Amino acid sequence: MQVHETAFVVSTYRSHHEDVSKDTYAKLWNNPSTDALIPDILKNVSEHEAILHSLRNRFFHESLTSFFEANNGGTLINFGAGFSMYQFQMMNNVSTIEIDKKDIIDYKKERIDLWITQGKLPQRDIKYASVDFNIQTEEEIINIIKPLIKKEPTFIVLEGVLFFLNQNTTDKLFRIFKELQETGDQVGSVSYLPEIESTEVYQRLLHYFDSHNDTNDSFMHQTTTHSFYEKIDGYHLKEYTDEFELSKLYAPDCKIDNKSQILNENMYILERI
Ligand SMILES: C[S@@+](CC[C@H](N)C(=O)[O-])C[C@H]1O[C@@H](n2cnc3c(N)ncnc32)[C@H](O)[C@@H]1O
């Protein structure tokens, strides 16, 4: 599986549970080749993957809505945006900067421009930036993103990305965030705790990636400690939760009894100090 395919898979998951994810536009990205991948993942990795990714989206949907409502707009900066559609779920006083690898950005921009013209999506102020977090330097990335920020405050989203990166790139990204943001701005991040590595469900996920390996597209499988978030320079940890807790709130009927049986991701909200 190539990294860009993971973005299609996550978007399709959101479309399976619109009532939970609140992403009514995700289905625009659905396509037969992604649909063909999903039954195998749900059967061989975990049947709960679609609802968990929808819960993750719901958490950021709620966090972004309350942040931008309280601040009367601002800029959403989405690092590794994939096919996220938050920009259309917010009021039009929110500008968005979509950042991802070039193939995703080129395809996303082309489709979104078309769907806006066709009236399938509302008009929004969206900027796009093609960046590879592993290859480009801190300075290069700051020089690309900073001029695109026209409206403060900012909320940076880093969702479903850290798993694919190493520690050096992760540290680089948080230094970039510090440089881009002002006091009171926020970052929302997602990662797995290292404890998950000993669970059967996580081993099944790694096995799935290994057995569907694409030689041209290698990636990491990083987990991140809770204490990492408590020590990030320039930020304080404001809030955290996990998908297991969110399921009780937004999907009480989904029958997840034990967090060690699911690919339970953790969500963190950091505030720039
Ligand atoms: C699983 S998808 C998540 C997409 C989106 N944030 C979401 O939650 O729906 C991971 C995204 O991270 C992007 N990504 C991974 N490694 C990257 C890198 N080195 N530079 C830029 N983007 C990267 C991928 O292209 C992909 O769009």
Q: Reduce the DSSP state of residue 25 to 3 states and report it.
A: coil
Q: Is 64 in the pocket of ligand 1 (CB under 6 A)?
A: no
**Residue 164 C-alpha to ligand 1 middle, in angstroms?**
8
Q: What is the best residue among 37, 53, 100 to mutate for testing ligand 1's pocket, by most ligand atoms within 8 Å of CB? A: 100
Give the pLDDT of residue 102: 97
Sign of CA dihedral 145, 151, 155, 159: negative
- Nearest one of 98, 166, 160, 175 to 134, comparing CA atoms: 166
Please tell me the total count of domains within the chain. 1
What is the extent of the structural domain holding 95? Answer: 3-272
Q: Is 81 in the pocket of ligand 1 (CB under 6 A)?
A: yes
Burial class (CB in 10 A: 0-12, 13-18, 19+), 273: exposed
Give the pLDDT of residue 209: 86
**Cα Rg of the chain (Å, integer):** 18
Q: Indicate the pTM of the whole model.
A: 0.97
Which atom of ligand 1 approaches the CA of 159 most closely? 6
| Nearest CA owner, ligand 1 atom 25 | 4
Beta-carbon contacts of residue 226 (< 8 Å; ≥ 6 apart): 193, 240, 266
pLDDT, one tens digit per residue, over 155-207 is 999 999 999 999 999 999 999 999 999 999 999 999 999 999 999 999 999 99
Which atom of ligand 1 approaches the CA of 134 most closely? 19
Beta-carbon contacts of residue 141 (< 8 Å; ≥ 6 apart): 131, 133, 172, 176
Both tokens of residue 111?
């489709």
Give the pLDDT of residue 159: 98
- Nearest one of 140, 137, 61, 148 to 98, comparing CA atoms: 148
**Residue 100 C-alpha to ligand 1 middle, in angstroms?**
6
- pLDDT tens over the chain, length 273 residues: 676 789 999 999 999 999 999 999 999 999 999 999 999 999 999 999 999 999 999 999 999 999 999 999 999 999 999 999 999 999 999 999 999 999 999 999 999 999 999 999 999 999 999 999 999 999 999 999 999 999 999 999 999 999 999 999 999 999 999 999 999 999 999 999 999 999 999 999 999 988 876 555 556 799 999 999 999 999 999 999 999 999 999 999 988 989 999 999 999 999 999
CATH number, domain with residue 29: 3.40.50.150
Using CA atoms, how far residue 214 sits from 5, 34, 50, 97, 211, in Å, is: 11, 16, 23, 29, 9
Which DSSP state fits 45?
A: T
H helices then E strands: how many in the chain?
Answer: 11, 7
